[in-house]
Structure 1
Amino acid sequence: MEQASSSDMFRQRQREVVAALRAAIPGQCVLFQEEDTRPYECDGLAAYRQLPMVVTLPENEEQVIAVLNVCRELQVQIVPRGAGTGLSGGAMPIADGVVLSTAKLNRVVRLDPYARTAIVQPGVRNLAISDVAAQHGLYYAPDPSSQIACTIGGNVAENSGGVHCLKYGLTVHNVLRVRMITIDGDVVELGNGALDAPGLDLLSVFIGSEGMLGVVTEVTVKLVPKPQAARVIMASFDDVVKGGNAVANVIAAGIIPAGLEMMDKTSSRMVEPFVKAGYDIDAEAILLCESDGTTDEVEEEIQRMTAVLQQSGATAIAVSQTEAERLKFWSGRKNAFPAAGRISPDYYCMDGTIPRKNLAQVLISIAEMERKYGLRCANVFHAGDGNLHPLILFDANQPGEFHRAEQFGADILELCVAVGGTITGEHGVGIEKINSMCVQFSDTEREAFFAVKRAFDTPFLLNPDKAIPSLHRCAEYGRMHVKRGALPFPELERF
């Protein structure tokens, strides 16, 4: 007998999985034709793509459990997916696996204006929570640049932040409870409606776990009162070192702005024609510093920040006078990623975090890498907490450019580690930074991560190829990346 081809085996396996899933959930919730599954082949990191075998769109918690039960019984790997706005490849499918999309679980279950909480399903958009809470003078504070589209389930998976995370925190600081389903089909609630919960703090372990530990079906978030007033300072600097030092000086003065963002000249010139926010395109760097609170508090803090920025060498300072002008100032920062398409066919958005004191030093090193790799880099970042978002600009149609962009990005992440930082701040590891995990964490530390994974997902079926690199992968990466045993940044002090 002739041995069955790999394509025949795939189709046979696909038919088996589709039949089992359609017996468990409505047929319209199971997609397997290429024209239907193609939109799920990648997330926001579009450079990496993989067509999934099957996509499921459960409509309620019972159907989520049914999908997980089928996949466990058939030993099919599962990739949970939110809105697909992630930038690290965390939702990229597996060729012979199932994508479990939570897009149809999109109800606001309950909003309690007195407790200042909202219970929402994972498919609810980030911004929609604030829209619903607005009638009570409340809003949900974490605000990723993709907040108009990203969902709360994806925010939980990646521990997303945003431009106001300096004062209000990341997702982990604004979620009280998560209801999730394990690979065994068990319903587990982590945290509760109070500020603390008895037992181990597994909520903070789960948030940021990138779909590797369970599938979210409900989230209780904290809401905060909408500030009485908010104003933004836009400060220009003729030198990135001065701009970086100004960030540290603001924090050292005991000021915690609602937002503290920095953009270099490349970013400002990229964004300004796109949004016409009034940015100083001749400045080497601009800072956006927001204050919110009561009118008196904001007035005082604006004066204090203005003084610090002037002492730090600001060449020009503008302060928003109306809410419309405040939003206009922020529009440029919020639209930095799409604006990159105006000046480059492709871009590679990195995400690393460093100590604030090293901002200027790192920016200078990135400029040196631009010359090394022959690629431009636009820098936009949450300066207040040291979360960098370098946008490496390249043209995928030019042979070798994407590979150089990947190497450029890996060097930036190694630089972040070298100065005492970390390889991700809010985008997650996914597949994009999995090699860089080998740089930051030891074998022992990575084995601890795997131990947590095994405790939640013994058969390793939930997003198994993401976030945690195997020992073999790290060995291969080390052989490829270490240059004759030399450290990549010998001039930097080790911590």
Structure 2
Amino acid sequence: MEASLAISSRQQDLVRALRQQLPAHCILYDEEDTRPYECDGLAAYRQLPMVVTLPENESQVISIINICREKQVAIVPRGAGTGLSGGAMPIADGLVLSTAKLNKIIKIDAYARTAVVQPGVRNLAISEAVSAHGLYYAPDPSSQIACTIGGNVAENSGGVHCLKYGLTVHNVMAVRAITMEGEVIELGGGALDAPGLDLLAVFIGSEGMLGVVTEVTVKLIPKPQTARVIMASFDDVVKGGNAVASVIAAGIIPAGLEMMDKTSSRMVEPFVQAGYDTDAEAILLCESDGTIEEVEEEIARMSAVLEQAGATALAVSNSEAERLRFWSGRKNAFPAAGRISPDYYCMDGTIPRKHMAQVLIGITAMEEKYGLRCANVFHAGDGNLHPLILFDANKEGEFHRAEEFGAEILELCVKVGGTITGEHGVGIEKINSMCVQFSSEEITAFLDLKRAFDPDALLNPDKAIPTLHRCAEYGRMHVKRGSLKFPDLPRF
């Protein structure tokens, strides 16, 4: 009761201060209004925030930050809430700063091939706005119809075409942001390089822990003259995994190279009628784009490599409509999981391509170990895995088993030389898994960087960087070969 009253008093004090700087409609604090902000796309973890703000301009963002700094209130920046790692999950006595109303496209420069946008602009809206100039924005997460560029910057999002065109970090030229000190900083610039330390690369992917984005300059690229995609079927997932490595080894960099196993294909096909081979143990989607001549040549080369790698069937799109239909299944893999399972837990790890078959075999063994099914969807070209662990939260213990299943997948990724995330971020979902990958010295360096930007740890605290004590606790829970990951840390 005392804690509840304290939060209520703190909430009232914060709301009074915010009302002096923001219009009333930009401040939410009643439970029915804040409930939609209790989680992001990782709905298994929820927490009602104390207050939600929806600033409409940069000066209001600065005011919110200054008020929160003075009152020592933690801030969780939030984009569209499509993130899958809990990076935007609120803090009970904290404030959610939503950038949803900062949704203007400020400037399009077709000659320089750049666009300056506010963080609340949807990913797909950028391409739609510049389409008349024959340009588009390359990173294309599956949620691109809804996710915003600010959230993409926070998570360093990718998409099905990231193999050829890169992640957010490769397509953002500059970021304007507000630090927890209320200072406006500009990182990067209009040229290919900027003087001083490359803090832009540090900021992109920092999950809202270093500053609040208010403006982003993105790079635009010309739309290719044409694009075609091959759907290759395999009677064995190991052959499919090896085929991915064979394509890259042949010196081919497809515009997109994705893999789905039979479970994924069978859950997607009734949902979107993409034309998938549901009898195949695995299918690859291999896209080529460029001039008509370039595409014809590359499609022929990829077809030859895939056949040699053991493909049992090849289907090549013959129209733009068919190409989009092939991709629609991959883009809708996550929502389609709801057709065959009450719940799913989407993992995100990255491995060297040469170990793809090994990891697939490992995941199959884990299905038996945990008694849960797993549908595998991969950005296969760059080794980014998205296993969908299927479970029923209404059955006691199933979500806990799904969490342990996911953690073991990430441990396997690290074991073969990969990482615990590719594009979904760490958030709260993978914070323990950081202890598997990084040493105490590395985590100390991460914390030092965080303090340089945010000395009081008020921006998205307790996300992405685990404390050393937490890693010691996790090490005791997961003892490897009789030794702890961090033997030098206090054991309490």
Scaled to the shorter chain, the TM-score interval is: over 0.9
2:475·2:484 contact (CA, 8 Å) conserved in 1? no
Quote the residue 2:488 is aligned against.
Answer: none
- Match 1:390 to one of 387, 391, 415: 387
Quote the residue 2:489 is aligned against.
Answer: none
Q: CA deviation at 1:485?
A: 2.1
- Match 2:193 to one of 193, 196, 209: 196
- Counting matched residue pairs gives 485
Quote the residue 1:450 is aligned against.
Answer: 447
Quote the residue 1:70 is aligned against.
Answer: 67
Q: Distance in 1 between matches of 2:99 and 2:388?
A: 29
- Match 1:27 to one of 24, 32, 36: 24
Residue type at the aligned position of 1:43: D
Q: Distance in 1 between matches of 2:391 and 2:483?
A: 28
Q: Report the identity percentage.
A: 82
Quote the residue 1:425 is aligned against.
Answer: 422
Task: Confirm or deny that 1:328 pairs with 2:321.
Answer: no
Task: Confirm or deny that 1:136 pairs with 2:123.
Answer: no
Task: Confirm or deny that 1:307 pairs with 2:300.
Answer: no
- Match 2:149 to one of 139, 147, 152: 152
The 3-state SS of whatever aligns with 2:432 is helix
Query: Within 5 Å, which residues of 2 pair with 1:150-229?
Result: 150-229=147-226
Residue type at the aligned position of 2:23: P
Q: Distance in 1 between matches of 2:482 and 2:77?
A: 39
Quote the residue 1:292 is aligned against.
Answer: 289
Query: Within 5 Å, which residues of 2 pair with 1:339-350?
Result: 339-350=336-347
- Match 1:278 to one of 244, 259, 275: 275
Q: Distance in 2 between matches of 1:7 and 1:382?
A: 46
Quote the residue 2:88 is aligned against.
Answer: 91
CA change 1:257–1:147 in 2 (3 A) is same
The 3-state SS of whatever aligns with 1:24 is coil
Q: CA deviation at 1:484?
A: 6.3
Q: Distance in 2 between matches of 1:6 and 1:451?
A: 32
Q: Distance in 1 between matches of 2:472 and 2:253?
A: 42
Q: Distance in 2 between matches of 1:377 and 1:454?
A: 39
Q: Distance in 2 between matches of 1:436 and 1:57?
A: 33
Q: Distance in 2 between matches of 1:361 and 1:448?
A: 32
CA deviations over 1:213-266 (Å, ceiling 9, x no partner):
000000000000000000000000000111001000000000000000000000
CA deviations over 1:436-467 (Å, ceiling 9, x no partner):
00000000000000111001001110001100
Task: Confirm or deny that 1:100 pairs with 2:102.
Answer: no
Quote the residue 2:334 is aligned against.
Answer: 337
The 3-state SS of whatever aligns with 1:321 is coil
Q: Indicate the larger mover: 180-189 or 476-485.
A: 476-485
Task: Confirm or deny that 1:412 pairs with 2:409.
Answer: yes
- Match 2:37 to one of 22, 25, 40: 40
Q: Indicate the larger mover: 20-29 or 238-247.
A: 20-29
Residue type at the aligned position of 2:446: F
Residue type at the aligned position of 2:427: G
Q: Distance in 2 between matches of 1:358 and 1:273?
A: 31
The 3-state SS of whatever aligns with 2:86 is coil
Q: Distance in 2 between matches of 1:229 and 1:107?
A: 30
2:344·2:389 contact (CA, 8 Å) conserved in 1? yes
Structure 1 residue runs without a partner (length 5+): 489-495
CA deviations over 1:157-185 (Å, ceiling 9, x no partner):
00000000000000000000000000011
Quote the residue 2:265 is aligned against.
Answer: 268
The 3-state SS of whatever aligns with 1:408 is helix
Q: Distance in 1 between matches of 2:6 and 2:243?
A: 61
CA deviations over 1:245-304 (Å, ceiling 9, x no partner):
100000000000000000000000010000000100010000000000000000000000
2:476·2:484 contact (CA, 8 Å) conserved in 1? no
Residue type at the aligned position of 2:206: S
Residue type at the aligned position of 1:318: A
Q: How much is the aligned-residue C-alpha RMSD, in angstroms?
A: 1.0
Residue type at the aligned position of 1:115: A
Q: Distance in 1 between matches of 2:72 and 2:480?
A: 41
Q: Distance in 2 between matches of 1:12 and 1:481?
A: 41
Quote the residue 1:492 is aligned against.
Answer: none
Q: CA deviation at 1:483?
A: 5.8
CA deviations over 1:289-320 (Å, ceiling 9, x no partner):
00000000000000000000000000000000
Quote the residue 1:493 is aligned against.
Answer: none
Quote the residue 2:462 is aligned against.
Answer: 465
- Match 1:250 to one of 247, 265, 268: 247
Q: Distance in 1 between matches of 2:463 and 2:29?
A: 23
Q: Distance in 1 between matches of 2:407 and 2:65?
A: 35
Q: Distance in 1 between matches of 2:29 and 2:331?
A: 35
Q: CA deviation at 1:386?
A: 0.1
Q: Distance in 2 between matches of 1:18 and 1:358?
A: 53
Q: Distance in 2 between matches of 1:17 and 1:57?
A: 15
The 3-state SS of whatever aligns with 2:62 is helix
Task: Confirm or deny that 1:60 pairs with 2:44.
Answer: no
Q: Distance in 2 between matches of 1:239 and 1:27?
A: 59
Task: Confirm or deny that 1:363 pairs with 2:360.
Answer: yes
2:450·2:457 contact (CA, 8 Å) conserved in 1? yes
Quote the residue 2:351 is aligned against.
Answer: 354
The 3-state SS of whatever aligns with 1:287 is strand
Give 4+ residue runs of structure 1 displaced > 3 Å after superposition: none
Structure 2 residue runs without a partner (length 5+): 486-492
2:372·2:391 contact (CA, 8 Å) conserved in 1? yes
- Match 2:482 to one of 475, 479, 485: 485
